[in-house]
Structure 1
Amino acid sequence: MAAGDLAAAHRILAARLTAEPDDVPTLHLFAQVAGRIGKQDQGFALLARAIELAPPFEPALALARRFLDAMAPAEALAVVEAQLARQPGHPGYRSFKAGLLERAGDYDGAIALHRALLADAPQSPGGWTALGHVLEMTGRTQEAIAAYRRALAIAPAHGEAWWSLANIKANRFAPDDVAAMRALLARPDLPPQARMLTDFALGKALEDAGEPDAAFVHYAQGNALRRQQRPYDHAVTLDQLDRARRLFRADFFAAREGQGDRAPDPIFIVGLPRSGSTLVEQILASHPAVEGTMELPHLPRIAGRIGRYPEGLADLDGEALSGIGRDYLAQSAAHRHDGKPHFIDKLPANFRHVGLIRAALPHAKIIDVRRHPLACGFSCFRQYFASGFDFANDLTDLGEYYRAYVALMVHWDAVLPGHVHRIFYEELVADMPGEVERLLAYVGLPFDAACLRPHETARAVRTPSASQVRQPLYREGLESWRAFAPWLGPLEAALGDVLARYPAAPQA
């Protein structure tokens, strides 16, 4: 397996399993091979057997969760329900089901199941943080804070609960909290994950307390640990974006005019995280014709199934492109519950796939949201991301990634003029009515005053900005990065001329 010879590994494990059909480590290894060769169903069946034989076998549970995450919510729920029919009280499968209910948008069902699990295991800090996450998503902030505090009362070294509290704007750490986090970080036996999350949380606490120098030290330490876990290679990113520029030229789109699925339903919001995209999503989701969903994983997965992406797109005919569009819409349907004509996909990295969107879904709308590069970059640096943003753990990588993103957007503007609508966060804050009117005109929707009051719109929000978008728009956070300017030299240097060309902040 380590050498990549999966066929040989498959043969060895198959023989071993024939001789010892109930050997749990073999079942687990065989499931890994099955997953890597695309046989997710077989892999999950093997894991289910391993979990049945050894219920506390954590590696099998962790891999099973990854397999479920790769499925559509309805398909994954059916798989889990089948296992629960065999093992009705299994806590691992019940936990899986709660997570899948969240993905499917059944937040009340997820909360009820999390509470039922906690009734059986009230001393589970992970159970309390899982409940807190759903409560925070749905705007029940004080209940979420109470759930995270309950987790810390059980396990004071539970780093996820510390960071979850730091991620809630309405929460403020007390001096006793700061002392507790400092004491944790002084422990040599603190596990790396708990140390990393506590560093991020303590950084936020010290920033709120007006100590940017001490805060930056902890942000840097947290990022250094995260970088060890998830290294980032900018050369790989540059190669991917360069290949996109070479393929997706004006003649590519001209040759495919009129092809693709013509549904106007999707609205893609792209850019970098922490750019103001959640606010733009909330504004649009306040319109009666638009449903906000989440950062949908479907487009990158579809791209990954295209041989030699993106170059393989050149070999597809019009029917194949329409099929890609229909596939995306079918997978997204699981997240649409309100019957509205439009829905939002807010996955930031879809800026890489503007060419695919234009070819497969030519009537989809694409909105690029930007924030001052230093503000956006530092906001990413102080944010712990569970996955997907490995460039954010180093200031130089952040600047280079931002510059590469802007260069690709310049390319899309050149080959698809007028196809992407751009919003600068500072201009949105300075002139919200005008920016909202232009945004709705681009999407093709009549003006609706509810879009000027996005904080009043009740919906689940699954991003770190969940608490911010439930408050009235404010200007105070626009310049908060300046307190950290003395430490942002590597970011500024990597941004280069992108920083100089960013529009000056308008006056309100």
Structure 2
Amino acid sequence: MTEAAATGTLEQALAHARRLLERDPGLAAEQLGEILQVAPDHPSALQLLAAARSRQGDPSAALAILVPLARAWPDSAEVQFDLGQALDHCGRGQEAIAALRRAVALDPNFPQAWRVLADGLTAAGEHEAADAAYVSHVRHAAHDPQLMAAAVALAGNRIPEAEALLRAQLRQAPTDVAAIRMFAELAARLDRNEDALHLLERCLELAPGFREARRNYALVLHRSNRSEQALAEIERLLAADPEDAGSRVLKAAVLCRTGDYAQAIGIYDALLAQHPDNPKLWVSQGHALKTAGHTGRAVAAYRRSLELEPSFGEVWWSLANLKTFRFEAGELAAMRGQLARADLAEDDRLHLEFAIGKALEDTGEYEPSFHHYARGNAIRRAQLNYSADDTSARVRYIREHYTREFFAARAGAGSPAPDPIFVVGLPRAGSTLLEQILSSHSQVEGTMELPEITSITRLLRQQGDAGEAMPYHGALAAQGAEALRALGERYLAHTRIQRKTSAPLFIDKMPNNFMHLGLIQLILPNAKIIDARRHPMACGFSAFKQHFARGQGFSYDLTDIGRYYRDYVALMAHFDDVLPGRIHRVMYERMVEDTEGEVRRLLDYCGLPFEPGCLRFFDNPRPVRTASSEQVRQPIYREGMDHWRHYAAWLEPLASALGPVLASYPDVPEGEQRLDTDRL
């Protein structure tokens, strides 16, 4: 046999031994023993044999092989790495650290050697050095093929593949902070925010200096509506690097969530002075300016963003969404030009469809306007998994289970605080107007659409039996009086950051909370609940032509809207029946026709004396975050009430889905007032 052939045979045998090592280390050891009889002192065979002994649970045998091998090959980072692991398994921690330090000195691009060194330093109590080693592990993780394969899968949104790779990596290396951070990112993409937070907390426990993990942690806290905690993490990042643009952008976003718009705008101003050609920064500044009532500056910011990126559909829609803004002819032509592009991204296309629909509506071109709205809605509807049947089933479940007896059995539970005023209903039904009126009273503070009730439902869903049809409701029903009180106190604590004044009452106008009135009643029985209702055709079409940032999946199809409105009416009728007098209803049309009378009735329900400032709500300078922000800064006008009739020719699916609810408005059809027990 030639020397080349012998070498080839030896390499094949070693490759076979490596494969055996993964599934049968004992058999691998036998194979390697045979190889070493033919090629004594072969370094690769000795290294593999040491690995086989370790996997057989015999680190002393592995060490007996590796100590002389390391003396023979002192410049091999891999041998030093294996020696360090074997020493550690034999309880010789300081010697292990020394070997691992030699490994990373020989090859600084050895991510797993940095990780194992960090583990050893942690065990030795050298936390600062361990933190630095973990950070080096992250810095060199690009050299780990397993991690890179997971990163590529994650970037391509191949979630199952990425999850399998990361699970395998973490089984092998539970302290791989780079893998833990990637797994947290995967969990966040799947809306498993609690899992993401726990993973990132573990990551930062191991590596406090892992800046990207801390920024991810702050971001997930922000998305989980834990603004105070998010700001604390961001301040830690900025203390180390005050010029960190990513952390400053995130801080501005969190401040907008907490209603601190002046600070947020100041951050955006400073960032734009440094990065004037960043279109996304301009649009973020525009959003903050718009909410704070600086409409002129907002328009200028949006237009600057479009100068930099003319196809930026979100910005065109942001201009349209000002409601009082009117596009110039040249701007309409520019939008049409962008929409005609074959290479336009889908997200830009759907925003442009809505924006052009609004531009044509303003010029009275209702038919082409409707068709643009319809195309924008069709794009968005195809992106969502909304099911009208699921909504109907959820409403039916609530009506079956939240009975008078259910509430009577839990009377006296919950927090007694009267602070919140919940304004519920469908979007575009006038809830922002009611908030603006109420917040013009000296004893009431307007906040915004607060997500805390939704956060509590997620918490309950996690506590519930996953096998149940409605785990959140099952978990809520199982709560005792003290637990319900604690949930009410949690709501008050988590929303306190939104309260900027000493007013005793505050408004939470998340419209979708009508689905959670049972929860509100149990945890905050003294809170006020106001139902904002508007003519179903006016409300429905207004929702159809509005592209919501998130959370209104029903609003992109006329039939879905009609069914949703009908379910809403049925559910509110149910709560009127089981909690008589608990909810105060305001019909938008009556508010327009008799503003003072409706305002007085509203204040009476809230236990508040009449104040003339409530009739001049349009003078209130408070930030307004919703699509109605510009409209509520003007006096009430009735022209908008019947505007939907311009589109009546194309709204038959909405009217048909509404059925008797449309014919009976403002009354409730007899069939919707009580649950039809014959169909149970």
Q: Indicate the TM-score class for this superposition, using the shorter chain for normalisation.
A: over 0.9
Indicate conservation of the 8 Å contact 1:73/1:104, yes or no. Answer: yes
Indicate conservation of the 8 Å contact 1:22/1:53, yes or no. Answer: no
Indicate conservation of the 8 Å contact 1:247/1:311, yes or no. Answer: no
What is the match of residue 467 of structure 1? 630
Q: CA deviation at 1:71?
A: 3.9
Matches of 1:477 and 1:407, distance apart in 2: 26
Q: CA deviation at 1:423?
A: 0.5
Q: CA deviation at 1:39?
A: 3.6
Aligned pairs for 1:415-434 within 5 A: 415-434=578-597
Q: CA deviation at 1:40?
A: 3.8
1:447 aligned residue (604, 607, 610): 610
Q: Do structure 1's residue 390 and structure 2's residue 563 form an aligned pair?
A: no
Matches of 1:457 and 1:136, distance apart in 2: 15
Q: Alpha carbons of 1:19 and 1:354: their partners in 2 closer, same or farther (altered >3 Å)? A: closer
Q: Do structure 1's residue 297 and structure 2's residue 442 form an aligned pair?
A: no
Q: Alpha carbons of 1:3 and 1:163: their partners in 2 closer, same or farther (altered >3 Å)? A: closer
Secondary structure, aligned partner of 1:210: coil
Q: How many residues align?
A: 498
Q: TM-score under structure 2 normalisation?
A: 0.70
Greater relative contact order (Cα < 8 A, sep 6+): 1
Q: Larger C-alpha radius of gyration, 1 or 2?
A: 2
Structure 2 portions without partners, runs of 5+: 1-153, 465-470, 668-680
Letter in 2 for 1:384: H
Q: CA deviation at 1:14?
A: 1.6
What is the match of residue 12 of structure 1? 168
Q: Alpha carbons of 1:318 and 1:36: their partners in 2 closer, same or farther (altered >3 Å)? A: same
Indicate conservation of the 8 Å contact 2:443/2:505, yes or no. Answer: yes
What is the match of residue 348 of structure 1? 511
Secondary structure, aligned partner of 1:450: helix
Matches of 1:6 and 1:319, distance apart in 2: 42
Aligned pairs for 1:52-451 within 5 A: 65-306=219-460, 307=464, 308-451=471-614
Q: CA deviation at 1:303?
A: 1.7
Matches of 1:218 and 1:47, distance apart in 2: 47
Matches of 1:310 and 1:9, distance apart in 2: 36
Secondary structure, aligned partner of 1:262: coil
CA RMSD in angstroms, aligned pairs only: 2.6
What is the match of residue 479 of structure 1? 642
Matches of 1:199 and 1:142, distance apart in 2: 24
Indicate conservation of the 8 Å contact 2:218/2:231, yes or no. Answer: no
Matches of 1:320 and 1:302, distance apart in 2: 12
What percent of counterpart residues are identical?
A: 48
Matches of 2:632 and 2:200, distance apart in 1: 38
What is the match of residue 489 of structure 1? 652
Q: Alpha carbons of 1:44 and 1:151: their partners in 2 closer, same or farther (altered >3 Å)? A: farther
Matches of 2:358 and 2:423, distance apart in 1: 27
Q: Alpha carbons of 1:313 and 1:18: their partners in 2 closer, same or farther (altered >3 Å)? A: closer
Q: CA deviation at 1:8?
A: 6.9
Q: Alpha carbons of 1:19 and 1:195: their partners in 2 closer, same or farther (altered >3 Å)? A: same
Matches of 1:432 and 1:475, distance apart in 2: 11
Letter in 1 for 2:648: A
Q: CA deviation at 1:246?
A: 1.8
Q: Deviations over 1:199-232 (max 9, x none)?
A: 1000000000110001011101111111122231
Structure 1 portions without partners, runs of 5+: none
Secondary structure, aligned partner of 2:640: helix
Q: Alpha carbons of 1:182 and 1:167: their partners in 2 closer, same or farther (altered >3 Å)? A: same
Indicate conservation of the 8 Å contact 2:225/2:455, yes or no. Answer: no
Q: CA deviation at 1:13?
A: 3.5
Letter in 2 for 1:266: P
Q: CA deviation at 1:12?
A: 1.8
Secondary structure, aligned partner of 1:228: helix
Q: Do structure 1's residue 456 and structure 2's residue 619 form an aligned pair?
A: yes
Q: Deviations over 1:369-388 (max 9, x none)?
A: 11110000000000010100
What is the match of residue 673 of structure 2? none
Which segment drifts farther, 270-279 or 311-320?
311-320
What is the match of residue 194 of structure 2? 38
Q: Alpha carbons of 1:17 and 1:109: their partners in 2 closer, same or farther (altered >3 Å)? A: farther
Matches of 1:36 and 1:13, distance apart in 2: 20
Indicate conservation of the 8 Å contact 1:206/1:215, yes or no. Answer: yes
Q: TM-score under structure 1 normalisation?
A: 0.92
Matches of 1:221 and 1:54, distance apart in 2: 42
Q: Alpha carbons of 1:9 and 1:413: their partners in 2 closer, same or farther (altered >3 Å)? A: farther
Indicate conservation of the 8 Å contact 2:177/2:203, yes or no. Answer: no
Q: Alpha carbons of 1:463 and 1:13: their partners in 2 closer, same or farther (altered >3 Å)? A: farther
Q: Deviations over 1:114-135 (max 9, x none)?
A: 1111111101111111111111
Matches of 2:184 and 2:226, distance apart in 1: 23
Q: CA deviation at 1:20?
A: 6.6
Secondary structure, aligned partner of 2:655: helix
